[in-house]
Amino acid sequence: MDANGTDDISQAEVDRICALLKSARQGKKDLEALMEEEGPETQARLGAMYCNGMGVKQNYEEALRWYRKAAAQGHPAALNGLGWMYQNGLGVEEDDTAALGLYRLSAEQGYDTAFVNVGWMYNFGLGVRKDVQEAARWYRMAADHGHSLGQLNLACLYYKDSSFETDDRQAFELFSKAAEQGQISARYYLAEMYEQGRGCERDYRKAFEWYQLVAAQGDADAQLRLGQMYENGLGVQEDEQKAVVLYRSAAEQGHPDAQYKLGRMYEHGKGVEKDGHEAVLWYRRAMEQGELLSRTRLGYFYGKGLYVEQDYGEAFRLLQEPAEQGIRDAQQLLGYLYLHGLGAEENDTEALKLFRAAADQGDAVAQCYLAEMYDKGLGVEQDVAQAVVWYLKSAEQGFPPAAYALSIFYTIGKGGRTGLGEKCLLGSESC
């Protein structure tokens, strides 16, 4: 979603106006007289050039001067540009109410960019009470005229605004139109919709192609998603080395998820030579930005003494936040520390709670530990039947210790079970 102060000015027009400025500097003709002859259209464009530093050094005072001169003549682009300067406090004190008034005056003349900007103000409650429905009405007016920002912003409401009626099909159509006009954000969301099959049939190849266009512009989010497609062979032949290149590009821009991905590639030697110390470096960078999976991996490293000096206290400290946020690996690892009194006082009740939380998310290791706690009555009343239930869930995911424990159970008939039939349930070749 975006707002805009000016429409594009062609390079040829920028060059023409720069020639006028040069003529005035050389004393051939007074600039005021030149601009009077040119009229409000050129005055508005000169204001935009000074506002955005196009062909001239950015100068908000000069931008205001020429915008105001053209706006006094009712020029819609100047009114809109002046509104943009008030909204963003460029050369003037920020004033959303004044900005909205100027946008409205511009919109009354049918200026499409002003439609978008009035919509933006309603969308976010700037200078007016927030009203998403009213925002949509203004965006739609711009979109119906083919304005790419109107299409993009209206699509975003349909796609991801919880206060607006979700309509993936409408979002897809509008993103498609804006993407064809070169809107980078629209291209990204269109790729995402193709990847997820929202508003269209899932098409990894088309998702890849749109992500590729956005990633080429240096967009870190798109580089991350494109890297994932290369890593997993979605829409393109699997290529872990290309995935690493893309993850690195996004990671070096400070993208925490890409930093985690790059750390994981180094940890497991995927697409790059295995290097645990490099993994630690990238995990730390991601963790410093609040990325919880990296924090979990570092907690694991400290607990095991991998690539860092073993420190159960540090492992315990690192794992607490991701466990609280529902990261199942962190819950399982923290449960283990509580169970064995590593880095914290032994606490079977806390261990049980954490193992159950991870087990409910399908973690096979946590399911096995939970089964053991039921079997031995640790932190809970002994319940062999529940132990068998959780051993089964773990064993069905191929976790060997759970399968072994079950084999012992079935051999001795523990938990009301007998051996042969259960071997079949576990897929034993002996059945």
- 321-360 per-position pLDDT tens digit: 999 999 999 999 999 999 999 999 999 999 999 999 999 9
Q: Evaluate if residue 3 carries a pLDDT over 90.
A: no
The domain segmentation of the chain, as residue ranges, is 1-106
Mean pLDDT, to the nearest integer, of 8-33? 89
Q: Lowest-pLDDT range, 43-52, 132-141, 417-426?
A: 417-426
- 121-174 per-position pLDDT tens digit: 999 999 999 999 999 999 999 999 999 999 999 999 999 988 898 999 999 999
Q: To the nearest whole number, what is the mean pLDDT of the chain?
A: 93
Specify the 3-state DSSP secondary structure of 233. coil
Tokens of 367: 């399911």
Tokens of 335: 């449960």
Residue 112 banded pLDDT, cuts 50, 70, 90:
very high
How many Å apart are CA 351 and CA 333, to the nearest integer? Answer: 9
Q: Evaluate if residue 37 carries a pLDDT over 80.
A: yes
How many Å apart are CA 366 and CA 379, to the nearest integer? Answer: 15
Residue 8 banded pLDDT, cuts 50, 70, 90:
confident
Q: Evaluate if residue 1 carries a pLDDT over 90.
A: no
Q: Evaluate if residue 431 carries a pLDDT over 50.
A: no
Q: Are 91 and 108 in contact (CB under 8 A)?
A: no
Q: So what's the architecture of 1-106 in CATH? A: Alpha Horseshoe (1.25)
Q: Evaluate if residue 416 carries a pLDDT over 80.
A: no
How many Å apart are CA 429 and CA 431, to the nearest integer? Answer: 6
Q: Are 222 and 188 in contact (CB under 8 A)?
A: yes
Q: Evaluate if residue 430 carries a pLDDT over 50.
A: no
How many Å apart are CA 142 and CA 115, to the nearest integer? Answer: 6
Sign (positive/negative) of CA torsion 245, 251, 257, 261? positive
Q: Are 113 and 105 in contact (CB under 8 A)?
A: no
- The pLDDT assigned to 30 comes to 87
Q: Are 97 and 124 in contact (CB under 8 A)?
A: no
